Amino acid sequence: MSKYIIPHLPLSYDLETKTILKQVNKSNQKLAELKGVARTIPNENILISSLTLQEAKDSSAVENIVTTQDDLYKAGLEDKITNINAATKEVLRYREAITEGFSYVRNKHVLTNNAIKDIQQSLVNNNEGFRKVPGTKLKDSNGNVIYTPPQDINDIDTYMNNLELFINDDSLCDFDPLIKMAIIHHQFESIHPFGDGNGRTGRIMNILYLVYTGLLDLPILYLSRYITHHKGEYYHLLQAVRDKNTDNAKEWEDWILFMLKGVEKTSEYTINLIKGVSELMSTYKSKLRPAFGRKYKHELLNNLFFHPYTKIDKMQKDLQVSRNTATKYLDDIVKMGLLEKVKKGKENYYVNVNLMSLFVSQGEYNNVVDTIVTTI
């Protein structure tokens, strides 16, 4: 195993090959379609809330942090991360990190090292910053060392400062932003600047970079699901660039194509999901509005779609009504067949099972939506 010498960016290769540019066009077309479809949902927080929770679950699964949909959705209603199992807590921290990072990028229009440190801090709940103690090594499933990232804090700082400049200064490189995103992700994972949370931080950076470049308005393209489904290939291609070390233009091309394909496929998946949510919201609205008459408020519909689970105090807060009124609203909606009432311990949860079906159907949204809409 030769020692990988992390290159300073920009790379010296011309990576805009015919093969890459062909895939870039496909990926950009799907991404533009996703951006447009996302704008059809009036309340952006519905998408951000639902999709960030799914991304948090999938990204954490890459690190073998596994929680159930049920635990996740129940915990996702809480304002504070307390009395929750460890895996679910990790996933909710990921959602919090995405939300904070998105707010930073949207307001500051940069993605700095300080922002990256803040993201990692939210994920792992410490403020140690970049690694200061040597000894970090990456191993395969058999325990063999496959890669040793930079060990000295000065080297880590140098590489991260270079990466920060590459992210924010477009004059350094005129590659398409999607190609740059793939390079940034590989570079960050190779620097491996933190003691923990590098993979999750790197995947959040992918999302935020798309928002930073204007390719998306909202952080709703989550590659973690694609990476989880192609985990072996992801790690193989990531390492192949390092193993070849020099003269590795072909390995870089393979890596970039993998990431670009992920953007295309994940965009398709998310487009179908958003269309499914939009159609389902229209169906619910058509039933709720006549049933509630003058009492109908758009906050009622938003409450049912902000999250697959809701409960009385959440409805009470969102609609600014009494607890008795909130309870009656929810029970009436259960009678209409639009929610399912489930008792968990001392708490009653009201589950939008139709919305939940969209999220757990592994992308078969067209069939699922057709089935749902014709049965409610």
Residue 351, helix vs strand vs coil: strand
Q: Is 9 a member of any domain?
A: no
Whether 111 and 167 have beta carbons less than 8 Å apart is answered as yes
Beta strands across the sheet bearing 347-351: 309-310, 347-351, 340-344
d(CA 28, CA 221): 12
Same domain for 245 and 366, yes or no, is no
Whether 160 and 129 have beta carbons less than 8 Å apart is answered as no
Name the nearest CA neighbour of 185 among 59, 86, 71, 66: 59
Same domain for 104 and 213, yes or no, is yes
The tally of CA atoms less than 13 A away on the side-chain side of residue 215 is 24
Residue after which a domain boundary falls, among 204, 235, 266 = 266
Q: How many domains does the chain have?
A: 2
**Token output for 227:** 């990476």
CA 40, 94, 254 angle in degrees (round to 5)? 80
Q: What CATH number did the domain enclosing 359 receive?
A: 1.10.10.10
Q: What CATH number did the domain enclosing 99 receive?
A: 1.10.3290.10
Same domain for 62 and 140, yes or no, is yes
For 107, residues 6+ apart whose C-beta sits below 8 A from its C-beta are none
What is the enclosing helix (H) or strand (E) of 226?
Answer: helix 224-229
Return per-residue pLDDT of the chain as tens, 376 residues. Answer: 558 999 999 999 899 999 999 999 999 999 999 999 999 888 888 888 777 766 666 655 555 554 555 665 666 566 555 566 776 777 788 888 999 999 999 999 999 999 999 999 999 988 899 999 999 999 888 899 999 999 999 999 999 999 999 999 999 999 999 999 999 999 999 999 999 999 999 999 999 999 999 999 999 988 888 998 899 999 999 999 999 988 899 999 999 999 999 999 999 999 998 999 999 999 999 999 999 999 898 999 999 998 788 999 989 999 999 999 999 999 999 999 999 998 877 888 899 999 888 877 644 434 433 444 444 5
Same domain for 227 and 365, yes or no, is no
Name the nearest CA neighbour of 60 among 107, 97, 100: 97
Question: Prior bond to 10 cis, omega within 30?
Answer: yes
Stated pTM of the model: 0.88
**Token output for 281:** 């919201």
Residue after which a domain boundary falls, among 231, 266, 301 = 266
Q: Residue 370: what pLDDT?
A: 42
Per-residue pLDDT of 120-134, as tens digits, reads 999 998 889 999 999
Q: Residue 68: what pLDDT?
A: 54
Q: Is 148 a member of any domain?
A: yes
Residue after which a domain boundary falls, among 250, 266, 282 = 266
Other C-beta atoms lying within 10 Å of the C-beta of residue 114: 12
d(CA 173, CA 89): 39
> Could you list the residue range(s) of the whole structural domain that residue 286 is in?
273-375
